[in-house]
Amino acid sequence: MTSAHPGLAGPILTDPDHGHGYNPMKPPAPTLPRLLNPSGAVLAEWNIGPEDPPTAGRPSAGCSGDSSAWSVGNQITARVHFPASHIGFQGHFPGYPILPGFLQIQTILDVIRLAEPAAQITGVISARFIRPIKPEMSLRIIIIRQAVDAALCRLELNNAPISQCELQLSCGDPSSAQDAHTS
């Protein structure tokens, strides 16, 4: 069975870790894998935990100023998959599809929003795209909260960096962040 959705049409995908099929066009179920929006990457797993090794002397407040799960010094790790049907590969580039850099950063933001739904990127302090992301790649994302408004981010394949960036973040009202994606 295939679904008809612009840019994401394709067959039922199989989760390689669990061997069951799933349709990335259905609304995300509470279980993984699930489709990240708006980046379109398929999230296979994610976790929030302390940075390894922890950075001493940093405040523990999260985006909202409370002691949220993703506080300063903690990290988010996730595993994402970019299927060949991903819209980002269409036309970028014909005959040699690679994922555009802005979609890599959008995927990082989508993962951050699992922990901080109101988070927004207010600036890209630095970005380095080391190797291209090709169709069917599954990558690990590591996001370390350096300050309430800053994060270091890395996409890896087999523990080797694919891209890395430092982002400046802000924490707006979650409803306004959602409105920005629907307008």
Q: Measured between alpha carbons, how far is 89 from 106 in angstroms, rounded to an integer?
A: 15
Task: Give the confidence band of 54 by pLDDT, cuts at 50, 70, 90.
Answer: very low
Per-residue pLDDT at 19: 41
For residue 126, pLDDT over 70 is answered with yes
Q: What gap in Å lies between CA 50 and CA 76, rounded to an integer?
A: 9
Farthest CA pair distance, the chain: 53
Three-state DSSP at 90 gives coil
Is the pLDDT at 123 greater than 50, yes or no?
yes
pLDDT(154) > 60: yes
In angstroms, the CA 151 to CA 12 distance is: 34
**Which is more confidently placed, 164 or 27?**
164
Instruction: Report the pLDDT averaged over residues 68-79.
Output: 82
Burial of 159 (0-12, 13-18, 19+ CB in 10 A): exposed
Confidence of residue 57 (pLDDT cuts 50, 70, 90): very low
| Structural domains for the chain | 31-182 (3.10.129.10)
Q: Report which DSSP code applies to 27.
A: P
Residue 8 has pLDDT above 80, yes or no: no
Alpha-carbon distance 154 to 143, whole Å?
A: 7
Query: Tokens 């799933």 label which residue?
Result: 22
Mean pLDDT of the 16-26 span:
40
Q: Is the pLDDT of residue 152 over 80?
A: yes
Tracing tokens 């295939």 back to the chain, one arrives at: 2
Higher pLDDT, 83 or 48: 83
More confident residue, 178 or 95: 95
Give CA–CA dist 158/166, Å, rounded. Answer: 21
